[in-house]
Amino acid sequence: MKLIVAEKPSVAQAVAPVVGAVTRKGGYLAGNGYVISWCFGHLCRLIEPDEYSAEWAGKWTFAMLPMIPDTWQYAVSKDKSAAKQFAVLKQLMLDSRITEIICATDADREGESIFRYVYHVAGCQKPVMRLWVSSLEDTAIRAGLAAMKPSSAYDNLFHAGECRDKADWLVGMNGSRLFSVRYPGSMLTVGRVQSPTLAMIVRRDYDAAHFISQRYFTVMLDCGSFSAESERFDDESAAAALAAAADGQQASVTAITREIRTDKPPRLFDLTSLERAANKMFGLTAKQTDDALQAIYEAKLATYPRTVSQFLTDDMEQSTREVISKVHAVFPQLGQSETVDISQCINNQKVAGHHAILPTANIAQADLSKLSDTQRTILMLIASRLILATAAPHRYEYVTATIRCAGTDFKAIGRTVLKSGWRSLESRMKAALQSKDNTENVQPDKALPQLTQGQMIDRVSGEKAEHWTSPPKPYTEDTLLAAMEHAGQDEYDEDSEKKGLGTPATRTKIIEGLIAHGYIERKGKQIRATEKGVNLISVIPETVKSPKLTAEWEMQLQQIERGAYSAEQFMQGIISYVRNLCAEYGTVDESITFRGSNEPVGNCPHCGKEVRKGQYGYYCTGKCGMNIAKVFGKVLTDFQLMRLLAGKEVTFTAHGIKTIVSPKAVAHTFHGKQGWQWDTRKG
């Protein structure tokens, strides 16, 4: 008999009728020479530090660090249901009637690790074949069973998954203990991907809070049937003078450039781009999107969810064309493109393991009324992207005219649509999907009238226009996922290997983990750092929160998958990093104390009374009326404030200048519009 191991019961139930294993048993299905059982996700795990030795158990100390296992050990999850299902799998794996095992966990790095950990802990040594499918449709499963490869063909994939788990263990377990001991009274959580992600959110919030809006001006030239705009002026009087000089004067067209431009259709969805679109259009969290997508995948209505590709292979052209026809029949409200060009979605070189997310042909006969509202929305979103991605490009003429008046050049820009292509469907689809995103991806430039070089325009009018620079917007899940995907790429060429924080399969877990630990919170669609998150980032060093370093590690994991980098070399680098981290920060920092919310944080430099935290920040409990707000325009973190009140220096960057503030610089307080402020001078 052959044993098929799926990642979860629902997947096992999809495979069972294909192989004829339809008889239910305790924890598995059987029939026709097959037995099918399943994991409940991560049944087995790397063991915790306190399970290795008594030295690593109990109270956290510097002496136990760094914790680097001589031999990595694995164990069954502590969850009771997991332990029960593992016992079923172990018994089946070791059953003498089972001659071959088929790994049918999800076809990715995580799925490979889930199976192999169970296989290892069970002590099984039987031959394993790998079922690799991108859809749970019967035809796809049959094709996958006919094209199975030995498990050894996926060894590099497993090595990458195991290295990731070990790296997360080493950085997380050691880092959390190291900085919790370094700052007495704290219980800090540090993670290889979590900390750099949190640092990006804290930085964005800080930049937004400290942004100083700059006023600038332009001069608008009304030319009757169109308008033109001057360059930017920082001096209002210069802009006003130009507006007055141009008003009522004659202008001339000194130059015209015409360019035919093309907007290509959007690419098909991978997991991250789908999560981003769902958040932007419907306000769904990445987890809500993932859960809905997984459900419709298991219902055989969509292809494999956790893909990193936005392309198809050339052998999929005909089957994709058939799916498009079924999409039109099931979702007529999405509209149809005049032409369908699947070739623009095909790139064999950019499909590694799984192609882009597509609806399946099963949507034609499925009862979609059984789907939840969110599941149906995600399915329609995937279907609409398929229509858009295969539609004709949008082509237009982009015209730039230079208008000279009062000795100054003004620019007029217009565009004339030559072929609407996929954009003609975009608005209709947003309406059909009831999208909350009303933005357009195209610039709202109107067509310019027919202009000729040397043409004169009589009696134009000039008017000064005032503008303000805008602060960076807080992250939404859409923009945070994009930032995580592109982290660490700024210093590399566009053709360099893709980097980023985490993978499409793990980014959602990172975000949800930060929320669960209280480091970030959702405020509507915005994601903001909490005080706890800001405090954590303020005390851990740059190397721990560096997106660039973590992105480099992720790149190395991708190289391990392809056999282009050594797993041993990767682990040596992680171990060296952890050793150096523990050596450099293995002392107590008494300048910062983590306190309860009602405890005093120091004494007022004006009257000596206790300083406590209230609803609107820190304040003096005495009668001087002093509140502590900013130093050189910078809002202090809790720890910076505690440090100053404790008589320690604080270093930060304000307005691009590195500044050192000494407690002696607190000269006196003065009464202003916002109450008593802390008056500081550079120390």
pLDDT digits (tens, 9 = 90+) for 127-166: 999 999 988 999 999 999 999 999 999 999 999 999 999 9
73 & 7 share domain: yes
Q: What is the pLDDT of residue 338?
A: 86
**Region 528-557 average pLDDT:** 90
408 & 357 share domain: no
Q: What is the pLDDT of residue 108?
A: 87
For 52, 218, 397, 444, 445, the CA distances from 223, given in Å and listed in that order, are 79, 16, 21, 18, 16
Q: Look at residue 592 and tell me if it is in a domain.
A: no
Q: What is the CATH number of the domain that holds 285?
A: 1.10.290.10
Burial class (CB in 10 A: 0-12, 13-18, 19+), 538: middle
139 & 19 share domain: yes
151 & 21 share domain: yes
> Which pLDDT band, with edges at 50, 70 and 90, does 658 fall under?
low
Q: Look at residue 196 and tell me if it is in a domain.
A: yes
Q: Look at residue 28 and tell me if it is in a domain.
A: yes
Q: What is the pLDDT of residue 239?
A: 97
233 & 94 share domain: no
Q: What is the pLDDT of residue 341?
A: 96
385 & 404 share domain: no
- What three-state secondary structure class fits 494? coil
Residue 250, pLDDT above cutoff 70: yes
Residue 677, pLDDT above cutoff 80: no
Give helix 547-561 / helix 194-209 axis angle, nearest 10°.
140
30 & 133 share domain: yes
Q: Look at residue 593 and tell me if it is in a domain.
A: no
> Which pLDDT band, with edges at 50, 70 and 90, does 434 fall under?
confident
Residue 481, pLDDT above cutoff 80: yes
Burial class (CB in 10 A: 0-12, 13-18, 19+), 92: buried
Beta carbons of 268 and 345 less than 8 angstroms apart: yes
> Which pLDDT band, with edges at 50, 70 and 90, does 331 fall under?
very high
Q: What is the pLDDT of residue 352?
A: 75
State pLDDT tens for residues 599-637: 566 777 777 777 776 655 667 777 776 666 555 555 666
Model confidence, pTM: 0.80
**Residue after which a domain boundary falls, among 372, 389, 406:** 389
**Residue after which a domain boundary falls, among 450, 468, 486:** 468
Q: What is the pLDDT of residue 675?
A: 35
Residue 598, pLDDT above cutoff 60: no
Q: What is the pLDDT of residue 590?
A: 79
Q: Which domain holds residue 381?
A: 271-389
Q: Among 115-129, 617-631, 656-670, which is the least confidently predicted range?
A: 656-670
**Region 267-294 average pLDDT:** 96
**Region 178-203 average pLDDT:** 91
User: What sign does the dihedral 614-617-618-619 (CA atoms) show?
Assistant: negative
Residue 572, pLDDT above cutoff 90: yes
Domain count across the chain: 5
Beta carbons of 155 and 81 less than 8 angstroms apart: no
509 or 653, greater pLDDT: 509
| Half-sphere exposure for 623 (CA within 13 Å, toward CB) | 0
Q: What is the pLDDT of residue 551?
A: 86
For 604, 613, 648, 666, 670, the CA distances from 610, given in Å and listed in that order, are 6, 10, 17, 16, 19
178 & 141 share domain: no
In angstroms, rounded to a whole number, what is the distance separating the alpha carbons of residues 367 and 393?
34
In angstroms, rounded to a whole number, what is the distance separating the alpha carbons of residues 120 and 125?
8
In angstroms, rounded to a whole number, what is the distance separating the alpha carbons of residues 214 and 515?
34
Q: Look at residue 181 and tell me if it is in a domain.
A: yes
156 & 178 share domain: no
Beta strands in 537-674 (DSSP E): 602-603, 610-614, 617-620, 627-628, 630-631, 634-635, 650-654, 657-661, 666-672
Q: What is the CATH number of the domain that holds 7?
A: 3.40.50.140
484 & 534 share domain: yes
**Could you give the percent of the chain with pLDDT greater than 90?**
70
Q: What is the pLDDT of residue 599?
A: 58
Burial class (CB in 10 A: 0-12, 13-18, 19+), 41: middle
414 & 478 share domain: no
Q: What is the CATH number of the domain that holds 176?
A: 1.10.460.10
In angstroms, rounded to a whole number, what is the distance separating the alpha carbons of residues 683 and 681?
6
Beta carbons of 604 and 620 less than 8 angstroms apart: yes
- What three-state secondary structure class fits 444? coil
The full length of the chain comes to 683
Residue 495, pLDDT above cutoff 70: no
**Residue after which a domain boundary falls, among 584, 619, 645:** 584
What does DSSP assign to residue 471? P
Contacts of 633 (CB under 8 A, 6+ apart): 210, 654, 655
Mean pLDDT over each residue of the chain, to the nearest integer: 88
376 & 486 share domain: no
Q: Look at residue 488 and tell me if it is in a domain.
A: yes
Question: Which has the closest alpha carbon to 298: 505, 136, 134?
Answer: 136
Q: What is the CATH number of the domain that holds 255?
A: 2.70.20.10
> Which pLDDT band, with edges at 50, 70 and 90, does 446 fall under?
confident
Q: What is the pLDDT of residue 427?
A: 85
> Which pLDDT band, with edges at 50, 70 and 90, does 680 fall under?
very low
Q: Look at residue 118 and tell me if it is in a domain.
A: yes
**Region 295-322 average pLDDT:** 94
Q: What is the pLDDT of residue 614?
A: 60
Q: Look at residue 591 and tell me if it is in a domain.
A: no
625 or 4, greater pLDDT: 4
Q: What is the pLDDT of residue 385?
A: 97
